[in-house]
Amino acid sequence: MQCSEIFTLAKLAHIAVTDAEAEYFATSISKIVQLVHELNAVDVTGVAPMTQPLADVEALRPDKVTETNQVETLLANAPQTAAGLFLVPQVIES
């Protein structure tokens, strides 16, 4: 990556970048890209894809309802409701 590309990205992100910072970022990103290219050259034939870094199985809780329907109770506190929804003032003009 070149410094000019860093300046372009910084401008798009509305971030002020000095010449030294642009040089540092360009060098760092180039090193990362080089590492990715080196990793792509590794032969992984016969290596099973890893789905998670830990061998443990996640403990999942049963998917069952634990709360009762409280819609009417919650809507009772609202100043305005309609069809089971809270009515609020319009804040975005069309």
The full DSSP string for 49-94 is: PPS-SS-SPP-PPP----S---HHHHHTTSS-EETTEE-----S--
The answer to whether residue 55 scores a pLDDT higher than 80 is no
Residue 53 forms part of a structural domain: no
Whether residue 36 is contained in a domain is answered as: yes
In single-letter form, the type of residue at position 31 comes to: K
- Per-residue pLDDT averaged across 24-32, rounded? 94
Is 18 part of a structural domain of the chain? Answer: yes
8 falls within a domain: yes
Q: Is residue 47 part of a domain?
A: no
Q: Residue 63 domain-assigned? A: no
How many domains does one find in the chain?
1
State mean pLDDT over 87-91: 90
Q: Is residue 22 part of a domain?
A: yes
Per-residue confidence (pLDDT) for residue 49, from 0 to 100: 85
Q: Is 75 a domain residue? A: no
Domain assignment of residue 27, given as a range: 3-40
pTM over 0.85: no
> How confident is residue 15, by pLDDT bands cut at 50, 70 and 90?
very high
Average pLDDT, rounded, for the chain? 89
